[in-house]
Structure 1
């Protein structure tokens, strides 16, 4: 199975971003990709105010574009994520999976809100968007289970373990990882999640400066279940492709059965978070 991750330098200019996403998705399909993953917030990414101002209903232009291009190219498409208007005070950070028939297969709303401070810059995603509460496993056209996550989710191994236990063989990670955390954490986290879940991880990151002080680190990656990086993007708008050996994945899960050897009856969640 051949997959691709599209790396974008999204800006507040929606038309420019859509043109870049369309072009690179088509190029990835011409390179043989059966599944293409786009980055987080690719339709509009600028200041928090600019990004949220561009929010649209679930069945708006992004869903229309995704269903149209997936059907045209006959591919599975994880259309990154976009700012969704939900009718509530806060919206959602929403990812969609569309099949080669142009039909919506699944949607996922980011569970973990990016409320952090990085190099003195404070991010408060929860000020504009509410967290989702559903873990989602969908399936590609050729029957391979696919887990959906977004960016900051990658720091929460319990989510990825549950996706693997629910059968996910592939996990998509659309992201807009900050420049600093991309340099120091991105590859380590992606490889760890791949090894723990014995899953292929397809991580499509943003790259470049989106607004003053808001910069993503690129280095989109495709990682195999052994933790080997199959492809890494340079620091520019581009796409990467890799061939996934699903038979090798089954062999890894058979010979090093860490998923089967779990002992959930022995695990106890602390009632208090002391960290």
Structure 2
């Protein structure tokens, strides 16, 4: 068996970079002390701020963001691979002051291996009355990413991307054997959809799905679902936090399970062209 120990960090990220780093760093250290080789944090690891003016004031390029820089150094210090599930940073597009919601993968030498900007932004009107327009503050990306790791390809997604199966299928066909889904799911959608979507994406792709989440009542007024989860390629839940409290979730992955699932149901090789309904 080819094994990998992963750790998913569940956070309740504060509204400032200094507080966010003080919150997440001890959890990452706990994960490394527990033997994790690959550690993943949730969406919005560097801060969560709804107020537009305060958010704009907190933005920095990812190579100058205080949390990104500190976590890059921490990965090197601990000798672990670290996925910053996402950091809210400047997009770098002149004339567009919206942020990028960016995943950043750091290797065990503190080198950036890959980055990915969230493709699908969360513009929804929920039955509870919650209204979200992420597109007003976040510039969506336009490039899917599979990062090379010592354990196979890691497909990068963020939160709302989970609702787009075509993205996950493309990642699997491009070499992903694991897919990261760092998230800050709302409570009503988390309760209704979180686990079933994660399991569906694992089953459809024959990939491990690694979903570290934000959880609880945040400083900026939002509430997130928590329940960080690891799904195996056959679709079974192999690790899960059953709450929204900050913490560390460990899982030992049998990486040979990817080949077993895909050999049993080789759906990634069964695509057929078809005509759309008239």
- Aligned 8 A contact 1:55 1:82 in 2: no
Structure 2 gaps, min length 5 = none
Residue 211 of structure 1, CA deviation: 4.4
Which residue, 240, 265, 270 being the options, matches 1:261?
270
Native 8 Å contact 2:224 2:244 kept in 1:
no
How big is the shift at 1:70? Answer: 1.1
- Aligned match of 2:227: 219
- What residue is the counterpart of 1:6 in the other structure? 9
What is the DSSP-based 3-state SS (H/G/I as helix, E as strand, rest coil) of the residue aligned with 1:2? Answer: strand
- Give the deviation of 1:213 after TM superposition: 4.8
2:70 to 54, 60, 65: 65
Alpha-carbon distance in structure 2 between the residues aligned to 1:51 and 1:148: 24
Shift of 1:249: 1.7
User: After TM superposition, what 4+ stretches of structure 1 lie above 6 angstroms from structure 2?
Assistant: none
Q: Which 5+ residue runs of structure 1 have no aligned equivalent? A: none
**Match among 87, 91, 94 for residue 99 of structure 2:** 91
CA contact (8 A) 1:46 1:210 kept: no
Q: Deviations over 1:147-190 (max 9, x none)?
A: 00000000000000000000100111110000111111000000
Matched residue, 1:23: 26
1:46-125 aligned within 5 A: 46-49=49-52, 50-60=54-64, 61-87=66-92, 88=94, 89=96, 90-118=98-126, 119-125=128-134
Residue pair 1:4, 1:202 contacting (<8 A) in 2 also: no
Question: 1 CA distance for matches of 2:220 and 2:102?
Answer: 24
Distance 1:268 1:209 in 2: 47
What TM-score do you get using the length of structure 1 for normalisation?
0.93
Alignment match, 2:237 = 229
Q: Matched residues in 1 for 2:163 and 2:228: separation?
A: 16
Report the TM-score when normalising by structure 2. Answer: 0.92
1:137 aligns with 2:155: no
Distance 1:225 1:130 in 2: 32
SS at match of 1:67: helix
The alignment's C-alpha RMSD in Å is 1.7
Conservation of the 8 A alpha-carbon contact between 2:104 and 2:114: yes
Separation in 1 of the partners of 2:223 and 2:276? 36
Q: Is the 8 A contact 2:68 2:87 kept in 1?
A: no
